[in-house]
Amino acid sequence: MFVLGIDPGLSRCGYGVVEQIPAAGSQRARSEAVGLGVICTAPNESTAQRLATQMRELRCLIDEFRPAVVAVERVFFQVNARTAMGVAQVAGLAMALASDTGAEVVEYAPNEVKQAVAGWGGADKAQMQRMVCELLALDELPIPADAADAAAVALCHLSRTGWHRAAARSRSIAR
């Protein structure tokens, strides 16, 4: 089962496709990154053109992986209304496209994601990159940070649904 995590943004939208691989025989349950990246748009384009680019690329991602769940980082307007507008609009595109394919759509606040992945809500970008690297058993730190943030949203969802607890149990049994 694929979970697509989205760290929305108009200029840069991070995505992380995480596969849940159940325990089988001596193989412990684990989460594996099958796609990490960032959709970038050109600053000289209009907002509408940039939204169209994000829509096309998000649609390609969803069509390719057909995720069962799309987990989107929740937007707050309090911080910066100007930036938040583009973030909210790209989050809306992801949610609409995901729901249109029948995927479950969930939203998590940034501090929920940090709490679930790094253990505390105030974790910085570097700590999050290291934890994503650890949880997905990557050979190197996921770069850019937006891709790691997006994978963290997917991992947050798996953690909330008990996957990581189950994976940890299966890990201790397998040892």
Query: Binding residues for a second copy, per CB under 8 A?
Result: 46-49, 51-52, 54-56, 75, 77-78, 81, 84-85, 88-93, 95-100, 105
Residue number, 33 or 97, with CB nearest to a second copy: 97
Q: Kindly state the smallest distance separating residue 138's Cβ from a second copy, in Å.
A: 29
Q: DSSP secondary structure string, 63-80?
A: HHH--SEEEEEPP-SSS-
Q: Kindly state the smallest distance separating residue 137's Cβ from a second copy, in Å.
A: 31
Q: Kindly state the smallest distance separating residue 107's Cβ from a second copy, in Å.
A: 8
Per annotation, catalytic residue among 7, 57, 112, 149: 7
Q: Which residues pair with 72 in a beta bridge?
A: 6, 107
Q: Is 100 in the active site?
A: no
Q: Is 107 in the active site?
A: no
Angle at 22 between CA 94 and CA 166, to 5 degrees: 90
Among 64, 70, 60, 57, CA closest to 99: 70
Residue number, 6 or 29, with CB nearest to a second copy: 6
CA–CA dist 116, 18 (Å, integer): 15
Q: Which residues pair with 2 in a beta bridge?
A: 19
Give the count of beta carbons closer than 10 Å to the beta carbon of residue 81: 9
Q: Kindly state the smallest distance separating residue 77's Cβ from a second copy, in Å.
A: 4
Per annotation, catalytic residue among 32, 57, 63, 73: 73
CB 68 within 8 A of CB 99: no
Residue number, 49 or 111, with CB nearest to a second copy: 49
What positions carry a catalytic annotation?
7, 73, 146
